[in-house]
Amino acid sequence: MILGFSTKFPCGGKERYFTNFVPKILDGRKLHTFRKGSRWKAGDKIHFAIGVRTKNYHQFATGKVTSVFKTKINPKSRSISFYFKGSGYVKIKPSAIDKLAKDDGFASTEDFWKLFKEPFTGQLIIWELD
């Protein structure tokens, strides 16, 4: 399945800045991503791309989903919870949020919260490149 990435953040104000997600994915600094819904499953083939649904479509890598976690992000309380069978949703510690933001390709936890301004329910998708 195609997993599309933005090349610029629309975070706050009129200024945009580059995500640098492509090189971060290729060199292993971006290890996962968040997506709404529940379509991704462990073992799914990934076609990493930018410019999805445009004439500038570019697939820059392939890989495989290794793990998927149901996720809730609450920007108001600055909390993130993952679903664990038998335990339900469990909040992670603030220090784990810092690591999660870094591993998701953000320069800082503040940049992460700038993007996740609204409550989010979906999946954390973890991959390995081919």
pLDDT along the chain (130 residues), means of 10: 91 69 98 98 98 97 99 98 96 97 95 94 99
Total count of domains within the chain: 1
For 91, residues 6+ apart whose C-beta sits below 8 A from its C-beta are 79, 80, 81
Q: In angstroms, rounded to a whole number, what is the distance separating the alpha carbons of residues 65 and 57?
A: 21
Domain encompassing residue 64: 2-129
Cα 107 to chain centroid, rounded: 13
Q: In angstroms, rounded to a whole number, what is the distance separating the alpha carbons of residues 122 and 130?
A: 25
pLDDT of residue 18: 87
* CATH code of 116's domain: 3.10.400
